[in-house]
Structures are given as structure tokens and as C-alpha cells.
Amino acid sequence: MKPPRVLLVEDEGKTRDSIVEGMILEGWQVRSAARGVAGLQLAQAEPADLIVLDWMLPDLDGLEVLRRIRASGRTTPVLMLTARGTLTDRLLGLDKGADDYLPKPFAS
């Protein structure tokens, strides 16, 4: 059985490293990017089973990355993982095409 593939787009290095490590331990294949443009390029280049996407990214914010992913016709599930945790932020993220929304900080 092929392991699930995840794309993690997160600019904070310690958070990114911790999530990548946990997902690998759970048997996921993980690709990661620290910037919005790089994350978008990875999302368009190789299919993933899940995209975990931060909102506040350098060079291209997560909502724009999400908009472009959805505009390309991709239906990959997207989990927004972000410090923007107000109800308005959550509703906006979901309205823009996220499948779920998890505000930081979070506990495992």
C-alpha cells in the first residue's frame, strides 16, 4: 500500500520541522515549503492526498495559494493551519475553499 502524500506549506521552521517529523513517524510521505510561491509550485507539480497550508506566508499568502489551487481545478483536501484564529478568519478560510481550519497554537 502506498503511503499517503502530504504537502506542508509553513514558514515557521520549528513548527514545520515538528509537523514533518510527526507525519513521517505516522508513515506519510511529506514535501514541505516555507514560502507561498514554492508551496504553490509543489502543489501544481505533484499530486498530494492532503495539503496543510499556513495563511501568513512570505511572498504569497495562504489564501491566495488556496485560491490558485482551486482555480486550477484541484480538489485536494486543504487544512488551513494558522495563527489567524478569529471566527471571521475561520469562515473566510472555509469560504475560500479550505476543507478544515485549525488555529495555532494546537496540541497533539
* Residues 39-54, mean pLDDT to the nearest whole number: 96
Residues in the chain: 108
Which pLDDT belongs to residue 84? 84
Please tell me whether the peptide bond between 103 and the residue prior to it is cis, using omega within 30 degrees of 0.
no
Q: How confident is the model at residue 58 (pLDDT cuts 50, 70, 90)?
A: very high
Q: How confident is the model at residue 108 (pLDDT cuts 50, 70, 90)?
A: low
Q: Is the pLDDT of residue 106 over 80?
A: no
Which amino acid, one-letter code, is at 94? L
> Phi and psi of 12, rounded to 5°?
-85, 115
pTM of the model: 0.92
Is-contact 54 11, C-beta < 8 A? Answer: yes
Residue in the block written with cell 493551519: 81
**Architecture field, domain 5-103:** 3-Layer(aba) Sandwich (3.40)
Q: How confident is the model at residue 1 (pLDDT cuts 50, 70, 90)?
A: confident
Cell triple for residue 69? 489551487
CA pair distance 8, 10, nearest whole angstrom = 6
Q: Where are the domains of the chain?
A: 5-103
Q: Is the pLDDT of residue 73 over 90?
A: yes
